[in-house]
Structure 1
Amino acid sequence: MTKILNLTVIVFTIICFTSCSQTKKDDTPWQLLIKGDTLDGWNIKGGNATYVVEDGVVTGTTVKNTPNTFLTTNTYYDDFILELDFLVDPSMNSGIQIRSNSFPYYRDGIVHGYQIEIDPSKRAWSAGIYDEKRRKWLNPLTDNPEAQKAFKQNEWNHYRVEAIGDTIKTWINNVPAAYLIDDKTASGFIGLQVHSIHGDKKEGTTISWKNVKILTENLDKYSQKSPLKPIITKNQLTIDEKKQGWKMLWDGETTNGWRGAKLDAFPEQGWEIKDGELIVLSSGGAESAAGGDIVTEELYGDFELQVDFKLTAGANSGIKYYVDTNLNKGPGSSIGLEYQILDDALHPDAKLGSHEGSRTVCSLYDLIQANPEKPMNAIGEWNSAYIISKNKHVEHWLNGMKVLEYERGSEAFLKLVSESKYDKWPGFGLLEKGQILLQDHGDRVAFKNIKIKSL
């Protein structure tokens, strides 16, 4: 009997040794973001929720009547693979911020950017992608029941997040959850959220994170494929934009809904559609001398308008609104109020104008200068223009910051017009409805994500 037992032990030992030796060792060069009992390399933004760390486990605790609170990395990350574990109270809502930012000009420094949702509610959208304090839901788990089932209530859950280029992919407990293609933000900090609580919500509930690690090099080697169909946001409405009544003003593929400002059809030259971008081509810098301006076929009264634009060095263009193409049949551009698009550093127009600075980027062309502290991205990068006109009150925004506002038809407005190049056009800027125009000023400028909401 003893010999048999000894033989069994030997065989068992050999099996264990063989099995262990065949287990693939994880040689991924992870970097730990939380080590031991210190939060060195992290800082708190937003509200007054508390964070403590013990043995590499960070625990956040809710505090009533304070905004969302974020424990954020001091380091900014662009492309990376992130893994972590979390344990959340079933009554809470939370998330992992990635490529997020806090700028003084954007809503007084509020944290904004991509959030990998933590959602223990019955909705079960954990590992979906939310755009915190911007566009809201980008990739919910509405059509992914397997990922919804993967969340473990009152247990540790594991996330994997890949953010490479314009693509973000997530997994929850090794189940593919979200797959988003979106190029809104390329870089930012990582943050651990404790959501705000109010009313009868219980104070003192907690969420914990551990094994927070990141990979920033050789990502192609370690990236995993996702079987999911990606959600692509380029030239598409988000979930909340659809609910709010926004419409695509350009479909990203055709010339439908647009024509030449002085033509019955879209220009045959001077413009191109490529890779989801509507591009006015370079033709020497002359105003409306090549393909010419393009305008919407529809007229708009009160509206909200969003347009992403990208300049080349020294370029000039514009977004005009309340345009009447019948006003100017001669040379030059059609007449309307203009959100100026310009390379302020290289184009001479930046130093011209009837009013100082009124031809710089985002300004109301030739009338009102935009805030000089405007957050303009570098030439060759995308910028987001936003214009709202309601009850004659108009605002210009750039990349989330309001840069000017005025009242159409006010005494101050009429005075500015009388002192400008527009004084020869009776009733300038006072139309109840007009067309939206993208300007051909002979320089290469690209547009995308053109959206409008009638008010």
Structure 2
Amino acid sequence: MTKLFNFMIRKAYIFKVALLLVAISLTSCGSAQKDNTPWVSLQDGNTLNGWSIIGGNATYKVEDGTIIGTTVRNTPNTFLRSDKLYSDFILELDYKVDSSMNSGIQIRSNSFPFYREGRVHGYQVEIDPSKRAWSAGIYDESRRGWLNTLENKPEAQKAFKQNDWNHYRIEAIGDTIKTWINDVPAAYLIDDKTASGFIGLQVHSIKDHQKVGTEIAWKNLKILTENLEKYSKKSPLKPVITKNNLTIDEVKNGWKLLWNGETTKGWKGAKLDTFPEKGWKIENGELSVLSSGGAESAAGGDIVTEALFGDFEISVDFKLTKGANSGIKYYVDTNLNKGKGSSIGLEYQILDDAVHPDAKLGNHEGSRTVSSLYDLIKADENKPINQIGEWNTAFISSINNHVEHWLNGTKVLEYERGSDKFLKLVAESKYVKWPKFGLLEKGQILLQDHGDNVSFRNIKIRSIDNKNNK
């Protein structure tokens, strides 16, 4: 009896220990899975309240708390966009996509009437079920193309689950965007092109061979907009930095950096053999002309490229200070004016229109406002200009004598070099005294010192072989 009693006691003890271990295990699992993050849901579970359809005619509906988008024929990309705009946030969601579809999650995106007739543009976290497997890479919709792919990231590529639910985590804090797919780090981008915009769920347009009625589904959309540093996760990936670097598509399309972001290489004073010793500063990846009282080319002086350019496209980010004046000149011949003042060339005007008196002057009314062809052609009054202290992007295209000025992705004027209209404008201007003004086959690019503090960055150019453009 004693042996039997002792055996039963030991069995009871072992059973209690086992129960205790199971309880501890369940408790620890529950603690590990509990999420105390104060998420805010982006869905009400039953309707599309708080969202709007833009861009195309694909359809969206809600079933059992899941948003379902469906493809239709003969329509551009369609987006279900949040009515609310977001700047800094952490977003998580689940999605399931058909293996034949391409899609994406728009963040910090916008739609403006002046930008390509309202076309949606901005950062897109890619959904890519193809063999390329770049899901959770970062694409710039309707702007710069690919910014951060999943090339050489096999773990992230393998993390995508075909025809099953996938989970994204997207962090957009300041100039940094990080993504995860099914908890695997995927993209890490540093870029400050756009600070705020809507969130969008894309149903991509389909080609003739693709099936109408194909679906993509999203659920568990939740966002965090406060105390982000507390909840942000570190990424082991090396960041892709776009500032003063070429994007993937720019490299592919033949663009070159005209300024490397660090040195004066490739540039010199317009009336010097070297770069000016004063009046200009390079700091934090910005090339700045310093304030010297507003006089034209009286301090450090204008700077020009050492190289000459014929047909070209150039993109330059610029940032104004209050009341500032400067310009980007092209087809410049520094031998035309050896005296006082700026070197001679066609000029994309840079100006604080609201404060600087030049905005109301000029040989033609308004032709000295920002993005105008200085003193000759006024830019569109509806041009999109950002506030003083914010970056703007100037774009100039000159191909086969057809010239266009763009500002922040919107065309603001165009003209034909050498046309009767152009020659008449020159004949009526102060440029009439310069022989063949604006008609050089090749010339330098110039950044103007007009005595005001203006900064430049992301200076990029693409030379065009005009044989391919006739």
SS of match in other structure, 1:273:
strand
SS of match in other structure, 2:430:
coil
Q: How does 1:174-193 map to 2 (within 5 A)?
A: 174-193=183-202
Matched, 1:239 2:248: yes
Q: Distance in 1 between matches of 2:198 and 2:25?
A: 41
Give the one of 371, 377, 401 matched to 2:410: 401
Show CA shifts across 1:405-450 (max 9, x none): 1111111111111111111112111111100000000100000000
Q: How does 1:150-299 map to 2 (within 5 A)?
A: 150-299=159-308
What is the match of residue 422 of structure 2?
413
Q: Distance in 1 between matches of 2:297 and 2:387?
A: 25
SS of match in other structure, 2:158:
helix
Give the CA RMSD over aligned residues: 1.5
Give the one of 368, 371, 384 matched to 1:362: 371
The answer to which of 198-207 and 280-289 deviates more is: 198-207
What is the match of residue 19 of structure 1?
25
The answer to which of 278-287 and 22-31 deviates more is: 22-31
Q: How does 1:296-315 map to 2 (within 5 A)?
A: 296-315=305-324
SS of match in other structure, 1:428:
coil
Aligned partner letter, 1:47: G
What is the match of residue 391 of structure 2?
382
Shift of 1:189: 0.3
SS of match in other structure, 1:422:
helix
What is the match of residue 111 of structure 1?
120
Q: Distance in 1 between matches of 2:191 and 2:409?
A: 17
What is the match of residue 325 of structure 1?
334
Shift of 1:17: 3.6
Q: Distance in 2 between matches of 1:19 and 1:103?
A: 54
Listed as ranges, the gaps of 5+ residues in structure 2 are 1-6, 465-470
The TM-score, its normalising length taken from structure 1, stands at 0.97
Show CA shifts across 1:186-223 (max 9, x none): 11000001111011111111111111000000000000
Shift of 1:143: 1.4
Q: Distance in 2 between matches of 1:9 and 1:112?
A: 63
SS of match in other structure, 2:24:
helix
SS of match in other structure, 2:117:
helix
What is the match of residue 3 of structure 2?
none
What is the match of residue 145 of structure 1?
154
Give the one of 133, 136, 139 matched to 1:130: 139
Shift of 1:13: 5.0
Shift of 1:18: 2.7
Show CA shifts across 1:117-141 (max 9, x none): 0111111100000111111111010
Q: Distance in 1 between matches of 2:64 and 2:44?
A: 8
Q: Distance in 1 between matches of 2:189 and 2:11?
A: 57
What is the match of residue 82 of structure 1?
91
Show CA shifts across 1:147-184 (max 9, x none): 00111111111100000111100000100000011111
Q: Distance in 2 between matches of 1:32 and 1:4?
A: 52
Q: Distance in 2 between matches of 1:133 and 1:374?
A: 18
Shift of 1:15: 3.6
Show CA shifts across 1:316-346 (max 9, x none): 0000000000000000000000000000011
Q: Distance in 2 between matches of 1:212 and 1:111?
A: 21
Matched, 1:425 2:434: yes
Q: Distance in 2 between matches of 1:332 and 1:307?
A: 23
Aligned partner letter, 1:451: K
Cα distance change of structure 1 residues 370 and 20 upon mapping to structure 2, 3 Å threshold = same
What is the match of residue 73 of structure 1?
82
What is the match of residue 45 of structure 1?
54
SS of match in other structure, 1:163:
strand
SS of match in other structure, 2:433:
coil
SS of match in other structure, 2:404:
strand
Shift of 1:38: 1.1
Aligned partner letter, 1:18: I
Q: Distance in 1 between matches of 2:10 and 2:407?
A: 81
Cα distance change of structure 1 residues 289 and 66 upon mapping to structure 2, 3 Å threshold = same
Aligned partner letter, 2:249: D
Aligned partner letter, 1:161: I
Aligned partner letter, 2:261: G
What is the match of residue 451 of structure 1?
460
Q: Distance in 2 between matches of 1:374 and 1:9?
A: 78
Show CA shifts across 1:233-256 (max 9, x none): 111111111111111111111101
Show CA shifts across 1:245-285 (max 9, x none): 11111111110100000000000000011011111011111
Aligned partner letter, 1:337: L
> Which structure: larger Rg?
2
Q: Distance in 1 between matches of 2:112 and 2:208?
A: 30
Shift of 1:20: 3.9
Q: Distance in 1 between matches of 2:199 and 2:463?
A: 36
Shift of 1:6: 8.2
SS of match in other structure, 2:359:
helix
What is the match of residue 468 of structure 2?
none
The answer to which of 407-416 and 156-165 deviates more is: 407-416
Q: Distance in 2 between matches of 1:224 and 1:184?
A: 23
Q: Percent identity?
A: 75
Aligned partner letter, 2:100: S
Cα distance change of structure 1 residues 202 and 6 upon mapping to structure 2, 3 Å threshold = farther
Q: Distance in 1 between matches of 2:154 and 2:338?
A: 58
What is the match of residue 444 of structure 2?
435
What is the match of residue 340 of structure 1?
349
